[in-house]
A and B are shown apart, each in its own frame.
Chain A
Amino acid sequence: MSSLRFRILVALVGTAFLLAALLGFWHFRHLRHLVTRTFEQTSRLFTVQIARQALAPLFTENREQLQALASQALAIPSLRSITFLNQEDRVLLGPPLPADSPGPASHAHLLERDNGLLILEPVFLTALLPGPDPTAPPRFVGRVVLAFTLQDLHQEVAAIRNAVLLAELLFAVVASLLMLALERWISRPLLDLIDKIQAIARGDLSIRVVIPTRSGEITTLCLSVNQMADALQQHTVRLESMLDERTLAVQKLRSLMENMSNGVLVCEAVDEGADFLVQDLNHAAERIGHMPRGDVLGRRLTEALPGAGPTGLLATIQGVWRTGTSEHAAEFFYEDPRTRAWWETFVYRLPSGEVVTVFDDISGRKRIEESWRRFNRELDQRVRDRTAQLEVANRELEAFSYSVSHDLRAPLRGIDGWSLALLEDCRDRLDDQGRQYLDRVRAEAQRMGVLIDELLQLSRVTRSKLEPSTVDLSETARRVIARLQEANPDRQMDFEVEAGLRARGDPLLLEIVLTNLLGNACKFTAPRPRARIEFRRGPVTAPPPVQAGPPDRHRPAPATIPDETPGPTDQAGPPTATVEPPGRVALPPQAGLPEATDASPATAPPANPTDSFPGPGDPPAPVTRLAGFFVRDNGVGFDMAFAGKLFGAFQRLHRSSEFPGTGIGLATVARIIHRHGGRVWADSRPDGGATFHFTIEEGT
């Protein structure tokens, strides 16, 4: 900056001085010339005048007059001497001429000698008097030589020179000052501009140049600089925002990479792919590979992961580097002196040529898998054990049923048979009362036979294998109804069966369900002059339990639901929670917990969880769409307070004298429905008819 200014200043001042010097020189020369010429002319004129005055004396060679003339003339300060020469060129008066001075001539001579001026003026007679022949040459009468000193002239010139020098110096100084001012006027905006541009160049793009008020190139320049700064700033802002975005993106990627649970190792090939240099790795890679970032960055892969070679990882990476085909190894055993672990690796090549190894320590997973497998094996074993136990228990149960079937019925037949024999063979020895008693004995025996039969059927329902298919329930119901009408030809019964009811289940068991439900409906509508029985599609979910009225002291003890079947679970120690088919958890009934059945008398299905034990060989209850159905009658109904006992075996809500029955039908229904993964519940009120709902997998 200063150098520019300095140069401008030097240039300006130098120019001023040079100009002044040139001007001074020129002025001086001019003035000197003028002064010298004036001096010479004046000297000539003076000499001519002297010569005229000296004509006569010369002609006469009157030395006094010449002396007087000389004295008079010598009053002039710069006149050093006067010499008069006669026509023979002899000195009449005055100092002699210098030796080299020219001889007489028709014209004057000017000689500069010894810092003086020598003027030799010839004097002619014609000059004074015109002769009779104007053409005749004038007559030479002598010469006047005046020697002027140039001392004064030189002093004069020196004074002039000094004056000029002074003037020019003054001019130069003034000019310099003017230049200085001019420089400031010109260079300040420029310097300011330079300052600002330098500031801008240093990166401060907020700086703007002050625009000078006068228009001109500087203004244009300033405007341009400002525009440039604006453009630069915009550009910079754009660049910065782009850079920010890029930085954010890079940070995001880095963060992603660093926070991955998988190790990431980026390598570039060296030695034609013989080895690789570690370019980058994330935290997980440091952790899994036991290789601190600082130790392995830039190192060879075989040094960073010494086990890479022996375990084949290096070969995989080399292969991927060569072919570009990524490789995934679900299980890869890595081992080196620091670590040994199961890894999952994924190796791929970047478009830029680096090979990326993504790896994860799956040792934990392997351990879990191993323990899971072990657990599964144990579970399998346990299931097999349990199945075996169940099979044993089942065989025992079958043996028991078989025994019941055979051994309990045989004595009944004996009781009945021999009672009859007594009646027939000893009739005359028995009175009416005795015969009545024997009839009673026979009736009870026969009733027990029926009970045993039904119990066996209930047991069979539990144990038999389910063979599900799509069942046309409407058709099944119509078959059952036909049998019921045949069995009760005297009854007035209106049956309404919705058409097209389909369900998926075991056809035989579902027929048993409908036989029981429709049979019950038929039985309990007996007092009605006209029974009305419907079988329709119904809701899939049971209504919430209705709070029963105050406890009824006449109610039978609720905790005495007998185990209809001594199933394996009943024998296997303490009762455990079982998952009901629809996903509800229910506890098996426990002695001493009467509330289990008492508290929710209206929730029929969960109230008898004993019925929910699946039979052996049943498929697991599938998660399927359930369809709801109901059988409704206009019969005598029942008190919902007792609904909890409804589906238990041998539970009856009516006296045998009113409605015959064994109390096993609904238990059978509940078992069949539960085995099919459905639910069953009832809704009724005394003398208000009853509705029995059940759900079962929808038939296709």
Chain B
Amino acid sequence: MTTKTILLIEDNASDIELTRRALDKSHIANHLIVAEDGQQALNLLHGTADRPGLAPDRLPTLVLLDLKLPRLDGLEVLRHIRNDPRTHRLPVVILTTSKEEQDVAASYDLGVNSYIRKPVDFNQFAHAIQNLGLYWLVLNEAPPKVTAP
């Protein structure tokens, strides 16, 4: 358990950098992996025809998922994560700008672990990210690893 990683699925470069900056401030920056669209994230997690997915012990501890993504949107990514036996216990936190009720409801229906709305105020944002990292990487007991079939 030396490398607790966070997978950030986010297409906005500014947000990626701000998230990284917020994680930096919480001293957890070295654990961040970034996927810039949904398909890329799924390829990373589940692999492609050319390349296998991440081994169970290399799966991220936490997925921070934006909803509005190019190609495959956040809810689809969440559905795939939950539908795949390798990742269906993976803690996923929606980190998004939207707080549309339908999005929140759909996310929880798909089995999201938490739903965080990104505040405009960076201080609040940084605070939220810091709490998130602390909670999910330190306090939370990770789910048991699913052995590959």
Task: List residues of A whose CB falls within 8 A of some B CB.
Answer: 401-402, 405-407, 409-414, 416-421, 442, 445-446, 448-449, 460
Contact = CB atoms under 8 A, between A and B. Distances in A.
Contact of A405 (B100, B119, B121, B123): B100
A409 B125 contact: no
B129 to A, nearest CB: 11
29 contacts: A402-B98, A402-B100, A405-B99, A405-B100, A406-B67, A406-B96, A406-B97, A406-B98, A407-B97, A409-B120, A410-B12, A410-B15, A410-B97, A410-B118, A413-B18, A413-B97, A413-B119, A414-B15, A414-B18, A416-B120, A416-B122, A417-B14, A417-B21, A420-B122, A421-B18, A442-B121, A449-B119, A449-B120, A460-B101
A59 to B, nearest CB: 201
Interface size classification for chain B:
20 to 34
A417 B18 contact: yes
B67 to A, nearest CB: 8
A409 B97 CA distance: 7
Contacts of B121: 416, 442, 446, 449
Contacts of A414: 12, 14-15, 18
B2 to A, nearest CB: 30
Given A445-B120, A449-B120, A406 B68 contact: yes
B122 A417 contact: yes
A265 B116 CA distance: 83
Contacts of A418: 14, 18
Given A416-B122, A420-B122, 20 more contacts: A401-B100, A402-B68, A402-B100, A405-B99, A406-B96, A407-B97, A410-B118, A412-B120, A413-B97, A413-B119, A413-B120, A414-B15, A414-B18, A416-B120, A416-B121, A417-B21, A417-B122, A421-B122, A446-B120, A449-B121
The 8 closest A-B pairs by CB, nearest first: A449-B120, A414-B14, A417-B122, A417-B18, A420-B122, A409-B97, A406-B97, A406-B68
Interface of B: 12, 14-15, 18, 21, 67-68, 96-101, 118-123, 125
Contacts of B123: 420
B122 A413 contact: yes
B97 A421 contact: no
A462 to B, nearest CB: 14
**Residue from A407, A419, A420 having most chain B Cβ neighbours under 10 A:** A420
Contacts of B96: 406
Contacts of B122: 413, 416-417, 419-421, 442
B21 A421 contact: yes
A413 B98 CA distance: 13
A324 to B, nearest CB: 68
A411 B118 CA distance: 12
Contacts of B97: 405-407, 409-410, 413
Contacts of B120: 409, 412-413, 416, 445-446, 448-449
Nearest to B14: A414
Nearest to A450: B120
A424 to B, nearest CB: 9
Contacts of B100: 401-402, 405
A507 B122 CA distance: 34
A564 to B, nearest CB: 18
Nearest to B99: A405
A413 B118 contact: yes
Contacts of B118: 409-410, 413
B99 A413 contact: no
Nearest to A420: B122
Contacts of B67: 406
Contacts of B101: 460
Nearest to B96: A406
Contacts of A417: 14, 18, 21, 122, 125
A8 B25 CA distance: 160
A460 B99 CA distance: 11
Contacts of B98: 402, 405-406
A550 B6 CA distance: 66
Nearest to A447: B120
